[in-house]
């Protein structure tokens, strides 16, 4: 039976996974049961995708990322090297807390930088940008740029990944795409 995706011979794909056409799964990665991975995704080396995770289309997951049960990544999400998600607030080795898993939603186009930690139970907004090494403990608005531990908002980003500079009227232009953005009442929207 011919598959419509590529999986390196050292990768492990458990039963009952749905993997979209054009997706590539690289060395030593483990895709656990009942996962859904969209089309044209890139799953780097040594990635773990736990049971029942949902990954959209064109998602790039770099090397050494752990995506645990309860995570949903929408289309066009980027997960940087060694980023990690959690799925329970107070883990203990001797206490089973699978019934307490909290969902995490990474919305369309968001970027999570290298070595970032995403604490469970939050939403990362559309086209948000999480800086390398950040520890995210609360919801992030659409287009927000966050950094640090704990992560704090330091600005706004365009859909092309450029920091936006708003004029006194609350307008900004992406230097690459020339798309216009408006900042109003603490929220950014694309014009």
Summarize the confidence of residues 141-164 as an average pLDDT.
Answer: 98
pLDDT of residue 3: 76
The CATH classification of domain 161-191, taken from the options 2.20.70, 1.20.120, 2.60.40, 1.10.1330: 2.20.70
CA dist 43 to 46, 78, 154, Å?
9, 11, 29
Q: Tokens 């290298």 label which residue?
A: 114
Summarize the confidence of residues 47-62 as an average pLDDT.
Answer: 98
Rounded to whole angstroms, how far apart are CA atoms 110 and 128? 5
At residue 99, φ and ψ (nearest 5 deg) are -70, -10
DSSP strand pairing (66-67 vs 78-79): unpaired
Summarize the confidence of residues 140-161 as an average pLDDT.
Answer: 98
Nearest to 145 by CA among 166, 176, 167, 168: 166
- pLDDT tens across 127-136, in order? 999 999 999 9
pLDDT of residue 165: 97
Nearest to 118 by CA among 186, 59, 160, 72: 72
pLDDT > 90 fraction of the chain, expressed in percent and rounded: 97
Nearest to 38 by CA among 51, 23, 16: 23
Q: What are the domain boundaries of the chain?
A: 6-157, 161-191
pLDDT of residue 27: 97
Confidence of residue 46 (pLDDT cuts 50, 70, 90): very high
Q: Tokens 């330091």 label which residue?
A: 154
pLDDT of residue 2: 63
- pLDDT tens across 85-96, in order? 999 999 999 999
The CATH classification of domain 6-157, taken from the options 3.30.1160.10, 2.160.10.10, 3.40.50.300, 3.40.190.10: 2.160.10.10
pLDDT of residue 44: 98
pLDDT of residue 60: 98
Rounded to whole angstroms, how far apart are CA atoms 65 and 116? 10
What string of H, E and C letters represents the secondary structure of the chain? CCCCCEECCCCEECCCCEECCCCEECCCCEECCCCEECCCCEECCCCEECCCCEECCCCEECCCCEECCCEEECCCCEECCCCEECCCCCCECCECCHHHCCCEEECCCCEECCCCEECCCCEECCCCEECCCCEECCCECCCEEEECCCCEEEEEECCCCCECCCCCCCEEECCCCCCEEEEECCEEEEC
């Amino acid at each position: 039976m011919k598959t419509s995706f590529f999986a390196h011979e050292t990768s492990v794909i458990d039963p009952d996974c749905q993997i979209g056409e054009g997706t590539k799964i690289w060395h030593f990665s483990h895709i656990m049961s009942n996962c859904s991975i969209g089309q044209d995704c890139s799953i780097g080396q040594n990635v773990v995708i736990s049971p029942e995770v949902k990954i959209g289309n064109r998602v790039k997951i770099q090397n050494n990322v752990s995506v645990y049960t309860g995570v949903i990544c929408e289309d066009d999400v980027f997960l940087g090297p060694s980023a990690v998600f959690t799925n329970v607030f107070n883990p203990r080795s001797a206490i089973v807390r699978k019934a307490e898993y909290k969902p995490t939603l990474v919305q369309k186009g968001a970027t999570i930088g290298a070595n970032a930690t995403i604490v469970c139970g939050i939403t990362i907004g559309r086209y948000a940008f999480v800086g390398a090494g950040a520890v995210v403990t609360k919801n992030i608005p659409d287009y927000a740029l966050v950094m640090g531990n704990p992560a704090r908002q330091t600005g706004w980003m365009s859909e092309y990944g450029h920091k936006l500079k708003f004029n006194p009227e609350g307008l900004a232009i992406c230097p690459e795409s020339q798309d216009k953005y408006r900042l109003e009442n603490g929220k950014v929207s694309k014009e």
